[in-house]
Amino acid sequence: MRCRRAQRWMVAAVDGELAPRRRRMLEDHVGSCPVCRRDLAGTGEVLERVAGLATQCEVPSRLEQATLRRVQLLAAAEEERSAARGWWAGLRAPALALATAAVAIVAVALTRGAGDRQPITSRALDQHRVAAQAPAREKPRMIASSERRAPKAAENLPVEPPPELAAAPDLFIELPILRNMEKLEHFEAIGTTTLDDGGEQSNG
């Protein structure tokens, strides 16, 4: 046996993890090789010293508290997840049944609709031709929201201004508040803007 191989087996021999046959071979070699004998003794001492190092230390209470807190949070999250899973599992079967029923209803409705349709006759074709020759109806157009609201506002407004205002329209137009209507639309502007021309500040 060579010294190099003997050295490789020494740690396992010290730890009792060497197969019996190899152990015997190593013992034979060490018995006749003073260098390996010293090496084996050194290996044993080093491993003994390492094993003698402290394997435990004091655990600060904050570590225990922090760990237990994290574990409690984890347990709570797990419970929540399992509860949610149970709720969904309970709901899944009725939801599936409802979806199936809806599909069935739609399918039946489509089938019956197709059955009720009349065959195309020459009269129907004539009606279609007449309709095509009629002047094209005005296309529906998008109605602006202001336009949609307009009739309602118009209903509330009097057709004619009151006689006193009709006689002196300047009184109405020159109201300072009307010149500042745009500013009133912005809430922030109300607090910081002078509304009138007289240099007086608004109180908000």
Partner 1 sequence: MRPDPAQPAAPPQALPEAGSVPAAAAADPDVALMLRLQAGDEAAFQDLFRKFSPRVLQFARRFVGSDAQAEELAQDVFVQVFRFRHRYRPQSRFSTWLFTIATNLCLNEVRRPERHLRVDIWERRDGEERAEGPPLPDPSAVTPEQGAAARQLERRLEVLVAELPPKQRAALLLSRMDGLAYRDVAEALGSTEGAVKALLFRATQTLKRALREYL
> At its nearest, how many Å lie between partner 1 and the CB of residue 89?
19
Cα–Cα distances (Å) from 125 to 115, 132, 166, 171, in that order, read 20, 11, 61, 67
- One of 20, 52, 94, 199 touching partner 1 (CB under 8 A): 52
Give, as ranges, the residues between 160 and 189 that touch partner 1 (CB under 8 A): none
Q: Choose between 80 and 200: whose C-beta lies nearer to partner 1.
A: 80
Smallest separation (angstroms) from partner 1 to the CB of 102:
39
Contact with partner 1 (CB under 8 A) among 50, 114, 130, 168: 50
Q: What is the DSSP string of the chain?
A: --HHHHHHHHHHHHTT-S-HHHHHHHHHHHHH-HHHHHHHHHHHHHHHHHHHS----PPPHHHHHHHHHHHHHHHHHHHHHHHHHHHHHHHHHHHHHHHHHHHHHHHHHHHHHHHHPPPP-HHHHHHHHHHHHSPPPPPP----HHHHHHHHHHHHS-SS--HHHHH-HHHHHT-HHHHTHHHHTSHHHHHH---STTSPPP--
Residues 100 to 159 in contact with partner 1, rule: CB under 8 A: none
Taking a C-beta distance cutoff of 8 angstroms, is the pair 184, 190 a contact?
A: yes
Q: Which stretch binds partner 1 (CB under 8 A): 44-52, 82-90, 126-134, 177-185?
A: 44-52
- Pairwise CA distance, residues 25 & 8, whole Å: 13
Q: Which stretch binds partner 1 (CB under 8 A): 36-44, 158-166, 170-178, 193-201?
A: 36-44
Binding residue (CB under 8 A) for partner 1 from 21, 49, 123, 129: 49
Q: Does 47 bind partner 1 (CB under 8 A)?
A: yes
* Binding-site size, partner 1 (CB under 8 A): 35
Site string for partner 1, 53-92 (x = CB under 8 A): xxxxxxxx--xx-xxx-xxx-xx-----------------
Near partner 1 by CB under 8 A: residue from 42, 90, 169, 191: 42
Residues that bind partner 1 (CB under 8 A): 7-8, 10-12, 15, 17, 39, 42-43, 45-47, 49-60, 63-64, 66-68, 70-72, 74-75
